[in-house]
Amino acid sequence: MISGVFRVRRWAPVGVFTSLAYCLHQRRVARAELRGADDQKAVDRSLLELKMVQVVFRHGARSPLKPLPQEEQVEWKPQLLEVPPQTRFDYTVTNLAGGPKPHSPFDSRYHETTLKGGMFAGQLTKVGMQQMFALGERLRKKYVEDTPFLSPTFNPVEVFIRSTNIYRNLESTRCLLAGLFQRQKEGPIVIHTDEASSEVLYPNYQNCWNLQERARGRRQSLALQPGISEDLEKVKEGMGITSGDGVDFLILFDNVAAEQVHSLPSCPTLRRFARMIERRAVDTVLYILQSEDRKRLQMAVGPFLHILESNLLKATDPATPPGKTRKLYLYAAHDVTLMPVLMALGIFDHKWPPFAVDLTMELYQHRESKEWFVQLYYHGEINPYILKIPPPPKQPLGLCSPIA
């Protein structure tokens, strides 16, 4: 329950928060709560007017991306792909300029892997569709019913939608919109996507040479890290998997998470070590990304953070013409997007982002002082820390641009 009056520590003026991209420059996001006289200051919730919402979310539950090399495998049957009627909602996919939908090399690759039971790798399931519909309903309750901010039916003037060009993300977005607007619309739903070569909604290792080179050495030395290598061998030995098969904690956790959310029978060894596998999967990502390495995080998610920052700046700039901003921005992303974004913001909880999780950013203006405030939510929960971010960069960020 959120009370009518918010402590200052829960709100950050946009003059402090304004650049999500530049938060990677010079210092990390401050997580310490304000103390002293400032801590006694409060912001009256009734004087804050909601102006814009940005939601970055992970797709819903899916099949694993790569099966484990063992004789006894979980069956992924096509019945898991049944589409719930309440999630049906027509949409169109275009490139960022409004042209034809780009080719998806990822979907082509997933279709090369058929899992036991007949499903392809990485397919959104009925469970995933229901998760996304539920997220849409939660957003509807907050921004349509509890606070009359959005229209009850989809209006393209109010909503901008962008997704990675991967089918499970496009379909997850459809389900979210069906829940949010109860399958009612006043205009066409257009989901914007980009070419894989220039996509910024995930760390683009394949098309960012600097990021790829920085990660390659870390991946090669990962097996030598004390604790990680021993734990990996323990799990693989229990499953009867040989050492040189390319299985790591990321693949193990991907299978564990997918099987658990669908209530499918996992290998006994996977069930026994499930918590350790998740912890080591997170350790693996932290090691590869080097969360303390400012430049690596910049190249991983700096361009995407700049997009979020630009939306904030446009909304707060009195010179922005009417109609150039939207009330709601939706970004369908991935776990590998959210982890470095949360690290950059200083709010990563060292837990793997679950399916259908969301990071929501609300922009408010004080009716009297005209100051701007930002509130963050992760997984529907308020972030209790004030976020201090230096002034924004003068130049926009490209796909592989570190911040100077």
Cα separation, 384 vs 381, whole angstroms: 9
Cα separation, 242 vs 237, whole angstroms: 7
Note whether 374 and 66 are within 8 A (CB).
Answer: no
Is the pLDDT at 228 greater than 60? The verdict is yes
Cα separation, 143 vs 159, whole angstroms: 12
More confident residue, 395 or 387: 395
Chain CA centroid to CA 370, Å = 30
38 catalytic? Reply is no
- The catalytic residue among 59, 194, 248, 358 is 59
Cα–Cα separations (whole angstroms), residue 365 to 14, 70, 95, 141, 383: 9, 56, 33, 21, 19
Out of 71-85, 173-187, 368-382, pick the least confident: 368-382
**Residues contacting 374, CB < 8 A, separation 6+:** 11, 12, 14, 17, 312, 361, 362, 363, 364, 387
Please tell me the predicted confidence (pLDDT) of residue 267: 87
Cα separation, 370 vs 27, whole angstroms: 28
Note whether 139 and 361 are within 8 A (CB).
Answer: no
> Which tens digits make up the pLDDT trace of 49-83?
999 999 999 999 999 999 999 878 899 999 999 99
Cα separation, 357 vs 351, whole angstroms: 12
Mean pLDDT, rounded, for 77-104: 97
Percent of all residues in the chain with a pLDDT value above 90, rounded to a whole number = 59
303: tokens are 């361009």
Note whether 251 and 232 are within 8 A (CB).
Answer: no
**DSSP conformation class of 141:** I
Query: Strand, helix or coil at 19?
Result: coil
* DSSP characters over 82-106: PPPGGG----EEEETTS-SPPP-HH
Where b means 16+ CB within 10 Å and e means fewer, 245-265 reads eebbbbbbbbbbbbbebbeee
Note whether 379 and 357 are within 8 A (CB).
Answer: yes
Mean pLDDT, rounded, for 182-211: 92
Note whether 313 and 144 are within 8 A (CB).
Answer: no
Mean pLDDT, rounded, for 159-183: 98
Out of 127-136, 142-151, 262-271, pick the least confident: 262-271
Please tell me the predicted confidence (pLDDT) of residue 96: 97
> Which tens digits make up the pLDDT trace of 246-294?
899 999 999 999 999 999 988 899 999 999 999 999 999 998 887 667 7
3-state SS of the chain: helix, strand, coil percent to 5? 40, 15, 45
Please tell me the predicted confidence (pLDDT) of residue 246: 81
Q: Name the pLDDT band for 323 (thresholds 50, 70, 90).
A: confident
Please tell me the predicted confidence (pLDDT) of residue 60: 98
More confident residue, 213 or 341: 341
Is the pLDDT at 24 greater than 60? The verdict is no
- The catalytic residue among 248, 254, 335, 358 is 335
186: tokens are 């006043």
> Which tens digits make up the pLDDT trace of 325-360?
999 999 999 999 999 999 988 889 999 999 999 999
Single out the residue of 6, 75, 93 nearest to residue 41, CA to CA: 6
Single out the residue of 280, 238, 229 nearest to residue 68, CA to CA: 238
Mean pLDDT, rounded, for 376-397: 59
- To the nearest whole number, what is the mean pLDDT of the chain? 84
Mean pLDDT, rounded, for 28-57: 65
Is the pLDDT at 210 greater than 90? The verdict is no
335 catalytic? Reply is yes
107: tokens are 């979907």
Where b means 16+ CB within 10 Å and e means fewer, 149-177 reads bbbeebbeeebbbbbbbbbbbbbbbbbbb
* Alpha-carbon Rg for the chain in angstroms: 22
